[in-house]
Structure 1
Amino acid sequence: MIASLKGKIELLGTDWAVVNVGGVGYKVFVSTATLSQIQNISEVKLFTYLQVREDALSLFGFTTFEELGIFETMLSVSGIGPKLALALLSSFKADELAIIIATGNEAMLCTVSGIGKKTASRIVLELKDKVARSWAVTPLTAGAADSEVMAALGALGYSATEAAKAVVSIPKDPAMSLEDKIKYALAGLSKT
């Protein structure tokens, strides 16, 4: 098992990098977030996941151990392969993805190409408790209304982390309308 690579970057593609380690070039598939972090440096250390199939060996690399952890967690969902898990990490940071899953925000998952309603539901169903236990996720008990507020904030351009923090600050008043919750969250975000 190849757990990590440290070496010089030889080539960069749209979703991969070639890392030269001791004269051997390893092609490593990376998320767009990882690609942007390694773009302007000559030497890199990547935590890796090795996929072994009959016809290929594929390496997937991440700049942080947390990103690798959420990637491996995503692979435990039936129907999610490395390419789809990488697409999720290209759309969201590791902590954002953990919050999205822990709060059951299927709408945000559906914004990723290749993730439909059924797949998003399966991800939330299979990983919600697992992610909530293993990640330091703030809003563990978000309801459907909180998910709708997070989706609205996401549509307005706020990150999942910002949206989750704003949702936590909303008073737990069952009589409060969705519009009022969104206004309250936006007011809290404008203060930061």
Structure 2
Amino acid sequence: MYAYINGKLVYKCPTYVIIDAGGVGYHINISLNTYSGIADQENCKLFTWLHVKEDGHTLYGFADEGERRLFLHLISVSGIGPNTGRMMLSSINPAEIQAAILKGDVPVIQRIKGIGPKSAQRLILELQDKLRKDGPDTLISIPVNHTAKDEALSALVMLGFVKNVAEKALDKAAGSTTENLTVEQLIKIALKSL
């Protein structure tokens, strides 16, 4: 519902911040990684995720888009809720979590409070293929789309196609004509061959 909140940083502690945006104070739960990422900024922009339950709405904030995407992957695993996901991001930095999942390094994930051997194995089993499919840097860095082909590739990957297969289809689509195609045209042509 909320992509990000940008405003004046009114209060900051290791577990949450309060940001005044347009005269409204937002209480946003954060990880230690985000806490160190925002340092002592007067104005702050946090990428957010809203958790809705029967008894309340809770905002979670992240210093960058990559951390939020990793958080969403983590909480998609059965048995890992938002508080456990935040604990994971507070215990180990996102790059280390991603590397541990890709390598299948159970002991590194088990070091996190609240994660036992079964949870660590389930996490690796459920996320390893998703992270490999997205590519090694997809969760950590925000994809920068410079060309129509790059944007089309990002769109196809988000639709669920494997990155290297989508790249081949886009190369074929781009090579089929001499004119510059728009993002939409590239995607339509590539989808025909996928």
Q: TM-score, normalised by structure 2?
A: 0.68
| Aligned counterparts of 1:50 and 1:32: Cα–Cα separation in 2 | 19
Partner of 1:43: 43
Amino acid at match of 1:8: K
Matches within 5 A, 1:35-184: 35-136=35-136
Matches within 5 A, 1:17-28: 17-28=17-28
| Aligned counterparts of 2:75 and 2:93: Cα–Cα separation in 1 | 16
Shift of 1:38: 1.7
Q: TM-score, normalised by structure 1?
A: 0.69
| 1:134-154, Cα deviation, whole Å (9 max, x unpaired) | 1316xxxxxxxxxxxxxxxxx
Amino acid at match of 2:129: D
| Aligned counterparts of 1:92 and 1:64: Cα–Cα separation in 2 | 16
| Aligned counterparts of 1:122 and 1:112: Cα–Cα separation in 2 | 14
Give unmatched runs, 5+ long, in structure 2.
Answer: 138-194
Shift of 1:124: 0.7
SS in 2 for 1:130: helix
| Aligned counterparts of 1:37 and 1:65: Cα–Cα separation in 2 | 12
| Aligned counterparts of 1:82 and 1:98: Cα–Cα separation in 2 | 17
Shift of 1:37: 2.0
SS in 2 for 1:90: helix
SS in 2 for 1:61: strand
Shift of 1:108: 0.3
- Which aligned segments of 4 or more residues in structure 1 are displaced greater than 2 angstroms? none
| 1:9-37, Cα deviation, whole Å (9 max, x unpaired) | 11112310001101100011111011122
| Aligned counterparts of 2:39 and 2:95: Cα–Cα separation in 1 | 22
SS in 2 for 1:83: helix
Shift of 1:3: 1.0
What RMSD, in angstroms, separates the aligned Cα atoms of the two structures? 1.1
Change (3 A) 1:70 1:135: farther
How many pairs does the alignment contain?
A: 137
Q: Which has the larger radius of gyration?
A: 2
Shift of 1:85: 0.6
| Aligned counterparts of 1:94 and 1:134: Cα–Cα separation in 2 | 15
Shift of 1:8: 0.7
SS in 1 for 2:130: helix
Taking every aligned residue pair, what percent have the same amino acid on both sides? Answer: 36
Shift of 1:132: 1.5
Amino acid at match of 1:118: K
Amino acid at match of 1:33: N
